[in-house]
Amino acid sequence: MFEPLMTTSTIVFAFIFGLVSSLASHLLMKFLAKLPANPQTLPRGTMGLLPFFGETLGFLKPHSSNSLGTFLQDRCLRYGRVFKSHLFGSPAIVSCDFELNMFILQNEEKLFQAYYPKAMHGILGNYSLLVVSGDLHKKLRNTIVSFISLSKSQPKFLWCVEKLLISMIKSWNDRTEVAFFKEAKTLTLSFMVKSLLNIEPGEPLASEILEDFETYMKGFVSLPILIPGTSYYKAVKARKRLSSIVTEIIKERILKKQVGLGDDEDDFLDLILTKENLSDEEKLSIVLDILLGGYETTATLMALVVYFIGHAPHVFEILKEEHESIRQSKKDGEPLNWEDYKKMEFTYHVTCEAMRCGNVVKFVHRKALQDVKFKDILIPSGWKVFPIFTGVHVDQSLHDKPHEFNPWRWTDKEMRKKVTPFGGGPRLCPGADLAKVVIGFSLHHIVLNYRWKTKADDFPLAYPYVEFQRGLILEIEPASS
C-alpha cells in the first residue's frame, strides 16, 4: 500500500514557498498602495512581473554604451520617450526626454531629491557626495570644487600629471599592444593619490589603493548580498580598508603639523584638515570621493576618447596638427602649462564628443518629493525618477546623425545646451573641468608619439558604468611611421 511521505525537503520547500508567497503578497499590497488614484494621468509603461524586482534586470542588461540598449529602445518605441516602470524596488518614471531631464535636474531639492539604493550607502558611506542632500551636499561639494579650482591650473599639479604621462608613454617602447583602460586607471589614480595624499606612484601603498578601488567599483553593480565571497561583500570590505588607509594618513599629517614637521607648502589634504566645519567622517568621505572621481570617471573618459579616435583617422590627423603646433611653440623638454591647454580647441571638441557618444554616466537616481506635473505627465510623490542621459545624447531630434562621432558639431556653441554628460543643476559633476585638462595633456603626448587601432570585438559597454569588452587593447605603432 502506497502512502505519501512528508520528507524534510518537502517540509522545507512548503515552508519556503509559503514564506515567499506571503512576502510577495505583502510587497504587492505595498506596491498597489503607492499607485496614484488616477493612473490614467501616468505615462504608459509596464511594471514587470514581480512587484519588487519589476524590470530592473532588463534595465541593467549590458549594452553598447553609445546606444540606448534594447530595454530602453523597445519601450521608447512602444510608449514614448517617457514611460513608467518598476526599478530598484520602486515604481518609477523613466525619461529619455531632454526637456523633462533638465526640469528634473534643475529642480533638485525643490521637487526632486537624489535617492540611491540603500545598498550603495554600504559601499559609498553615508557622507558621499552621491548620496547626501540639502545643505550637507552644498557644504561637501563646495569643498571639492575648491580642490578642482586650486588644482586644474596649478603648475605643480600639471607637472605631476605630465611627468606620469611621459613615464607611461616611455613604458610603451618596444611594445605592439597596450591594455589601455588598465593603464589609464593606473595613471589617473596615481596622480590623484600623489596630489591628494602625497603618496608616490611606486610605493606599495599606491598599489594597495588601486587594487581596493578596482574591487570597490565591482560592488556597484553586484547583488547587495553581504556574504563573504560576494562582490558586494568584497566592495564593502575594500571601502573599509580604503577608509583605514586614509584615516591613518590624516592622523599622521595632523601629528606632523603639531610637531612642526609638515611641508612648508600645503597640499589639498592640508586644506581639508583646516576646515573646522567638517567632521572627521566628512573629511574622509571628501578624500574618497575625489579619489573615486579622479580614478574612475577620468580614466573612463580617457579610454572613450582614445577608442573613438581609433575609429576616426581624420580626427587623429587634425588632432595631431593641433598638438604639433603647440609643441613647436615650446622649447625642447619644456612642460605644458595652463596657457597651452587653452589652445587645445579641437582637443576640447573631441573630448566633448566622446562624452556624448560614450556616456560615462548613463542615468542618475532621483525621487519625487511631491506630486509633480510636467506638461501632461504626472510623477507621483515618492516615485523614483530616472533621467537617462544616453537617451538625450542619441536623440535624432537634437543631434544630426547622433551615432556618428563628429567633433566638428561642437563648433556650434548651442551644443553644450543639448547634452548632460556630467549631470546638471546643483549636482553637476564638480570634477568635469579637471578631467578635461587631464585628457588634453594625455592626448598631447599620445598623438605625438603613437598611432593605434582597436580590436574589432573591443568596444565600450554600459554595465551601467562603462567597461570595455577586452579592456581596450590597442595595437600601437610609432606616430612617425
Strand order in the sheet with 90-95: 82-87, 90-95, 384-387, 366-368, 112-114
- SS3 sequence of 373-430: EECCEEECCCCEEEEEHHHHHCCCCCCCCCCCCCHHHHHCHHHHHCCCECECHHHCCC
Phi-psi region of 47 (alpha: psi -120 to 50; beta: other; left: phi over 0): alpha
**CA distances (Å), origin 217, targets 192, 294, 390:** 17, 13, 21
Helix (H) or strand (E) holding 155: helix 155-170
Q: Do 353 and 308 contact (CB within 8 A), yes or no?
A: yes
In this structure, what C-alpha cell is assigned to residue 237?
570590505
On the 0-12 / 13-18 / 19+ scale of CB atoms within 10 A, 332 is: exposed
Rounded-to-integer distance, Cα 366 and Cα 93, Å: 10
Find all residues with CB under 8 Å of 346, minimum gap 6, and list them: 318, 319, 322, 407
In this structure, what C-alpha cell is assigned to residue 187?
595613471
Q: Give the three-state DSSP class for 472.
A: coil
Strand order in the sheet with 460-462: 63-64, 460-462, 466-468
Helix (H) or strand (E) holding 324: helix 313-328
160 is in an annotated binding site: no
What single-letter DSSP state applies at residue 230?
A: S
Q: How many residues does the chain have?
A: 481
Residues placed in the known binding site for heme: 429
Residues placed in the known binding site: 429
